[in-house]
């Protein structure tokens, strides 16, 4: 619990500092707007507070409507916050260059920047931010279908068609209608197996029940079943509640468990690494596969693409993961590419192939500017080799 409060205090502190900088620059640009100055300042402050206030209100108020509205509008603000942060920072760098070299066109100046120049910057930042957030929001609502064929050593037979997605984040921004649309897309791909690779729920199971999300997921119709693993958000929502909810939708959640599909493929699923932060643990991968038939390829679901060397050492044929969103918003994709050995798409460790999906939903800002949402279709071909 103390670790949670430490994390919460740190996140809130960073949020406050970032918004103090953004609001200061915005207020400088609003100077001289006359009667509209004060209302616009108040509106910006309220908008900046809406996300954290909405998240707290979700847990304190009996009615879901008001907190949900705050969270939705606050999530939109998060997109503007990230975008304006970088744009204002770029403007400040230009102002610094203009002060060091007064002869520069447009930004060249001596002393503090003129109010008219600050207003111009504010208007430019507002217009560019609205354009970026708008395009990112549109991009986030249209999942791309990506296909690949994967050759696996194992008993020969017909190919298996596996459809997978991750990071759905069902909640205020991914409602029943969008989930049903996703299910229709997945069913149209005629899957033998559907894999949900973690972070299927966001943080509040009771809200999902109100919108009958389980009914939407129950319409998935693969021939051999739907399987999921926990992600970090399943733990934020409450592991047992989240797993129970997914199972009520007809989805088998593999928590350090493995099953044999079609007599030819071992499908294993790991608990998310976040289990350790909530007093749990996860089994070593060899323990999960213990007692299963040998000579069959192993497809491993693990939400976070970490510790790939363990999958390689255990002889996993293919690991599928999510979690990274490939940063979701530019330029955070450069951050995730430094953190994870494979941040998006295909990679490998020895004979182990690794696929990291950038996810199908969003977390925080309802926008994507560093990666499109995606559904993967894998055709697994069995070579007959042992």
pLDDT per residue over 42-71, tens digit each?
999 999 999 999 888 877 776 677 888 899
Q: Write the pLDDT tens digit of every residue in 363-374.
A: 999 999 999 999
**Please, what is the average pLDDT of the chain?**
91
Q: What is the mean pLDDT of residues 266-278?
A: 95
C-alpha distances out from residue 270 to 41, 141, 284, 307, 368, Å? 48, 29, 9, 12, 28
What's the count of helices (H) and strands (E) in the chain, helices before strands?
12, 12
What does the block give as tokens for 376?
């993967």
- Interval 76-132: pLDDT, tens: 999 999 999 999 999 999 888 877 777 777 666 676 767 888 888 999 999 999 999
Please tell me the number of Cα atoms within 13 Å of 108 on its side-chain side: 5
- For residue 250, how far is the Cα from the chain centroid? 23
CA dihedral sign, ordered 324, 327, 375, 277: positive
Give the span between the Cα atoms of 364 and 54, in whole angstroms.
12
Q: State mean pLDDT over 269-278.
A: 94
Beta bridge partners of 382: 152
Instruction: Dump pLDDT digits (tens) for 282-301.
Output: 999 999 999 898 889 999 99
What is the C-alpha to C-alpha distance for residues 163 and 146, in angstroms, rounded to an integer? 10
Give strand pairing partners of 345: 356
**pLDDT tier at 137 (50, 70, 90 boundaries)?**
very high
Half-sphere exposure of 307 (CA within 13 A, CB side): 13
Query: Concatenated DSSP letters for 132-194?
Result: HHHHHHHHHTSPEEEEEEEEE-SS--S-EEEEEE----BBTTB-HHHHHHHHHHHHHT--SEE
Rounded Cα distance between 336 and 330, Å, is 11
DSSP for 37-83?
HHHHHHHHHHHHHHHHHHHHHHHH-S-SHHHHHHHHHHHHHHHHHHH
CB 278 within 8 A of CB 310: no
Q: Is 227 helix (H, G, I), strand (E, B) or coil?
A: strand
């Amino acid at each position: 619990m103390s670790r949670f409060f430490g994390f919460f205090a740190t996140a809130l502190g960073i949020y406050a500092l970032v918004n103090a900088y953004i609001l200061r620059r915005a207020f400088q640009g609003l100077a001289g707007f006359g009667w509209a100055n004060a209302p616009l300042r108040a509106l910006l402050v309220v908008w900046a507070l809406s996300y954290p206030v909405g998240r707290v209100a979700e847990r304190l108020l009996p009615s879901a409507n008001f907190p949900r509205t705050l969270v939705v509008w606050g999530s939109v603000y998060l997109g503007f916050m990230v975008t304006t942060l970088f744009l204002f920072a770029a403007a400040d760098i230009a102002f610094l260059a203009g002060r060091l070299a007064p002869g520069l066109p447009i930004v060249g100046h001596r002393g503090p920047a003129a109010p008219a120049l600050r207003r111009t910057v504010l208007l430019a930042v507002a217009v560019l931010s609205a354009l970026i957030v708008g395009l990112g929001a549109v991009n986030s609502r249209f999942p791309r279908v990506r296909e690949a064929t994967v050759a696996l050593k194992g008993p020969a037979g017909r190919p298996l068609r596996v459809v997978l997605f991750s990071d759905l984040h069902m909640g205020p921004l991914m409602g029943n209608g969008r989930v049903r649309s996703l299910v229709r897309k997945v069913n149209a791909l005629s899957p033998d197996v559907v894999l949900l690779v973690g972070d299927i729920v966001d943080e509040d199971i009771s809200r999902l029940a109100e919108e009958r999300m389980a009914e939407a997921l129950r319409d998935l119709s693969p021939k051999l079943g739907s399987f999921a693993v926990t992600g970090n958000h399943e733990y934020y929502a409450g592991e047992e509640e989240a797993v129970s909810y997914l199972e009520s939708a007809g989805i088998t959640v593999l928590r350090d468990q493995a099953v044999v599909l079609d007599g030819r493929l071992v499908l294993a699923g790991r608990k998310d690494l976040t289990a350790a932060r909530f007093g749990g643990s996860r089994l070593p991968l060899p323990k999960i596969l213990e007692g299963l038939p040998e000579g069959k390829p192993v497809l491993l679901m693990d939400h976070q693409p970490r510790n790939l060397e363990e999958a390689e050492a255990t002889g996993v044929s293919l690991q599928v993961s999510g979690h990274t969103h490939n940063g979701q918003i530019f330029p955070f994709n450069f951050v995730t590419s430094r953190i994870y050995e494979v941040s998006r798409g295909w990679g490998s460790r020895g004979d182990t192939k690794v696929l990291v999906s950038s996810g199908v939903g969003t977390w925080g800002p309802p926008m994507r500017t560093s990666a499109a949402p995606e559904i993967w279709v894998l055709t697994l071909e069995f070579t007959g080799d042992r």
